[in-house]
Structure 1
Amino acid sequence: MNQSKQRFFIAIVPPPDIEQQINEIQRYFAEHYNSHGALNSPPHITLQPPFHSLAEDVPQLEESLYQFSVNRLAIPITLSGFAAFAPRVIYVDVVKSPELLEIHKDLMSYLEANLGIVDRVSQSRPFVPHMTVAFRDLTKENFHTAWLEFAGRSLHFEFTASALNLLLHDGSRWNISKKFPLAAEPPTIINPS
């Protein structure tokens, strides 16, 4: 029996047109500030940080994510400007909407209760939704220069997240392994006549 462990994380990925524009910002950081790390995954908002799963447990993981997603509503997402976790990370800021905060909290609880997946670090600090454009390999010097350039830069995108994405690490980069549609229909309001 193959006991190989695979690395996953769960995230919201923007639609292709926005993904392309965020990719261009990430490439800019790679070219101008020698920070390539963010290019190792599609632009995303992490809901569940990386965790390991045995290959044989992946079908159960996928089934659980399907069961979680199928009863959820799509989520409005707003990307607005840039922010930073000094002195290493620059990101596109994501507005903390009640819907986004709720699905994050519910997903973490669900994964812990159903699959025993727990991220102790994120349990001990508040959820800051973000879309990384430069991190880890961004030097402190380059961070300061880049932050001067991006701190006041405006950026605004809105989209509806209609799926959760399970991303799998292939040894060098993260790829979308499977999408789980947020399939619930919004409640219909019937006007009594």
Structure 2
Amino acid sequence: MSRFFVALLPPQDIQDYANQIKQYFADRYASGGALKSPPHITLQPPFEWADANLPQLEASLKEFASGQLPVAITLKGFDAFAPRVIYINVDRSQELLTLQADLMVHTESNLGIVDKVSKTRPFAPHMTVAFRDLSKQNFRTAWPEFEKRQLHFEFTADKLTLLLHDGKRWNIKSEFGLFASY
């Protein structure tokens, strides 16, 4: 069994910017957990999947993605899940919310993957820069620094990314283009 999750990754320039902020949190606030994955917006939270059935998982995600349109994403400022996590705020567009909801339905009905937590709370798209390893004390110091900090990026997410955990960090396993035409 391996651990996977499905996400949208921003273009490389935005990843580089987010990684600089993650590194700042690691260096200044001893919060390096966010560096263990590329900057991303989680659509399907981590789940266990049998390695032998990886082709089935990838085929199902490819089929889903091919029926979806690319999604415009706006990153704006910072927000937090107090008292531990600080993240880049992702605009809750209807297209993004629909993509995530449709993916959850698809993975449950076609693959039997169910995230119980996601069923009990609304989808909160975000891009983590300081992870749960941020101490409460360091959160109280860091949050005022980032609370009003300006940030604005726009990009079009044109693929779903399947990430695989190697025991230490998350790595890109495969990508699936979003290219439905209506």
TM-score by length of 1: 0.93
Which residue matches 2:29? 33
Match of 1:172 among 160, 165, 168: 168
Structure of larger gyration radius: 1
State the one-letter code of the partner of 1:180: F
Match of 1:182 among 175, 178, 182: 178
Cα offsets for 1:28-57 (capped at 9, x unmatched): 111111100000000000000000000111
For 1:21-170, list aligned pairs within 5 A.
Answer: 21-170=17-166
1:22 Cα shift? 0.5
Q: Which secondary structure state, in structure 2, belongs to the residue aligned with residue 81 of structure 1?
A: strand
- Which structure 1 residue ranges, 4+ long, deviate > 3 Å from structure 2? none
* Aligned equivalents of 2:30, 2:128: Cα separation in 1: 15
State the one-letter code of the partner of 1:8: F
* Aligned equivalents of 1:116, 1:166: Cα separation in 2: 17
1:183 Cα shift? 1.6
Match of 1:19 among 15, 24, 45: 15
The gaps in structure 1 that reach 5 residues or longer are 188-193
* Aligned equivalents of 1:10, 1:36: Cα separation in 2: 21
Cα offsets for 1:125-157 (capped at 9, x unmatched): 010000000011100000010001000001000
Q: Which secondary structure state, in structure 2, belongs to the residue aligned with residue 10 of structure 1?
A: strand
**RMSD after superposition:** 0.6
1:71 Cα shift? 1.2
* Aligned equivalents of 2:64, 2:101: Cα separation in 1: 12
Q: Identical aligned pairs, as a percentage?
A: 60
The gaps in structure 2 that reach 5 residues or longer are none
